[in-house]
Amino acid sequence: MNALVLRPESLAADAVTAGNGSAAAARHALAGAALRAHPDFPAVRDAAVANLVQLFRGDYLLGRLLLEEGRYITIQTILSLAACQQAEERSSWLTLGRLQTRLAGSELASRNRIEALVAILERYGYLERRKAEEDMRITLLLPTARLWGADAVLMEALAGPVARFGDAVPQGSAHRGLLARARQAGQPHIEDAGLAAEAAPAAFDPQTPAWSSRDLAIAGAGHRSWHRAVAPELDAYFALRARHAELQGIASRDGGYLTLLLLLWEAGHSASAHVSLPFELLSSHTGVSRTHARLLIEQAEACGFIRLHARGGRDIEVCDRLHEAMDTWFADLMAFILAVD
């Protein structure tokens, strides 16, 4: 249900096509299996989980845009198309129609859903519509500095911990360049944020308005280089994500992926398989209703990821199945990031 399928004709016509995404995703999965066996993997994984929790907990708009699977895929496609367009090549211009064609056939991003998301991004200052100077009949979609910045901070939260593998694991030039640009631009380099046992969680206010207006970072033009490097691998990246069907089934719902991260984070800090994550607290962390939070927990239990031992989420047993699934997911994701060249 969650697989991203692109029609052959759209693949052939698009400049950022990766070709056989499934085969490339399988190669990344093999690299992920090797990465998971690395002795530093547990520490790197914990750092990534802590970074993501600190970034998204309590920021409802950012979480809904960048963690919900369908929206995330659409935004990544927008940024890749924007990074690769050339003013002299009209076929490369980022328009609503081209975005819809690029994602045609996706069950996660229907044409109507793409159009609605574009309207939301425009409303909250993440995207602009502007007439093309070369042809005023054509309306272009332009990601704003706010969208580039949000994506840059998300990538830093993942790429920083991955860099801790060091020279023992080959790193692609795109990954090295991403880290170098982040440091030069003065962005917070947070590869160690999740490693200190005494580190306190980022402060947040459950009463903060649901649609946060905070500015996370300023992404320089160099961040486009990362997306230009990722663009040929975009289909492989989506196919890789689709391999983790049970996780993405939860991540396709608002607050779903953050719920899984919070379960791991709580289990790590309590040093116990049993955690307390009441539905009211989960609701305030993720910005979904208490009923929706309960349904997310029940879905995780149906997948065998957790067991409920008390009402209201006050005693949740985090099962080995969740640790196994998330370890495999993070290993595959990190292998992909390291391979981009």
- Structure confidence at residue 108 (pLDDT): 73
Q: What does the H/E/C string look like for the chain?
A: CCCCCCCHHHHHHCCCCCCCHHHHHHHHHHHHHHHHCCCCHHHHHHHHHHHHHHHHCCCHHHHHHHCCHHHHHHHHHHHHHHHHCECCEHHHCCCHHHHHHHCCCCCCCCHHHHHHHHHHHHHCCCEEEEECCCCCCCEEEEECHHHHHHHHHHHHHHHHHHHHHHHHCCCCHHHHHHHHHHHHCCCCCCCCCCCCCCCCCCCCCCCCCCCCCCCCCCCCCHHHHHHHHHHHHHHHHHHHHHCCHHHHHHHCCCCHHHHHHHHHHHHHHHCCCEECCCHHHHHHHHCCCHHHHHHHHHHHHHCCCEEECCHHHCCEEECHHHHHHHHHHHHHHHHHHHHCC
For 244-253, write each residue's pLDDT tens digit: 999 999 999 9
- Model pTM score: 0.82
Under the banding of pLDDT at 50, 70 and 90, the label for residue 31 is confident
Across the range 65-88, mean pLDDT stands at: 93
Across the range 124-142, mean pLDDT stands at: 91
47-56, 60-69, 180-189: range with lowest mean pLDDT: 180-189
Domain boundaries, the chain: 19-184+214-339
Q: Average pLDDT of the chain? A: 82
For 192-226, write each residue's pLDDT tens digit: 333 333 333 344 444 443 445 555 556 666 688 89
- Structure confidence at residue 135 (pLDDT): 84
- Which is more confident, 69 or 183? 69
For 280-303, write each residue's pLDDT tens digit: 999 999 999 999 999 999 999 999
Please report, rounded to a whole number, the percentage of residues in the chain having pLDDT higher than 70: 80
For 297-326, write each residue's pLDDT tens digit: 999 999 999 999 999 999 999 999 999 999
- Structure confidence at residue 322 (pLDDT): 98
Question: Is the pLDDT assigned to residue 5 strictly greater than 90?
Answer: no
Please report, rounded to a whole number, the percentage of residues in the chain having pLDDT higher than 90: 55
